Amino acid sequence: MIARIWHGRVRRAEAERYHEYLLATGLPDYRQTPGNRGVHLLRRDEGEVTHYYTLTFWDSIEAIIRFAGEDYEAARYYPEDDRFLLEREPQVAHYQMMSTESPAAGSKGSQPGAQ
């Protein structure tokens, strides 16, 4: 399995609107692409800037190409992204998944916010 990570920055004042935009564009496209194994959206506020990361999981490079096109290492953008994003990062990062572990049900680690 392959993990793909994209990063984008928006003005914090636009963060909620951009979140709604992601829910209507990129996230459904990820999920609807054959070979996609999951989508996670991460957010971090830093002063007046909000960072968004998408972490997606894929069966293969071929599956990523179905989503991103032949130049699968290039970030994929949508028409209204320029309205929100402070810049367009040209590349995404891909990582080979080596292992996955989840806490056992009922363990402290499975509780939201547990450390």
Q: Compute the mean pLDDT over every residue in the chain, rounded to the nearest whole number.
A: 91
CATH number of residue 14's parent domain: 3.30.70.100
Residue 105 lies in a domain: no
> What pLDDT was estimated at residue 103?
84
Residue 115 lies in a domain: no
**Which of 14, 15, 9 has its CA nearest to residue 87?**
9
- Cβ proximity of 82 and 75 under 8 Å: no
**Full domain range(s) for residue 24:** 2-99
Residue 13 lies in a domain: yes
> What pLDDT was estimated at residue 108?
59
> What pLDDT was estimated at residue 107?
56
pLDDT by residue (tens digit) across 43-88?
A: 999 999 999 999 999 999 999 999 999 999 999 999 899 999 999 9
Q: Which helix (H) or strand (E) holds 36?
A: strand 36-46
pTM over 0.85: no
Domain count, the chain: 1
Residue 86 lies in a domain: yes
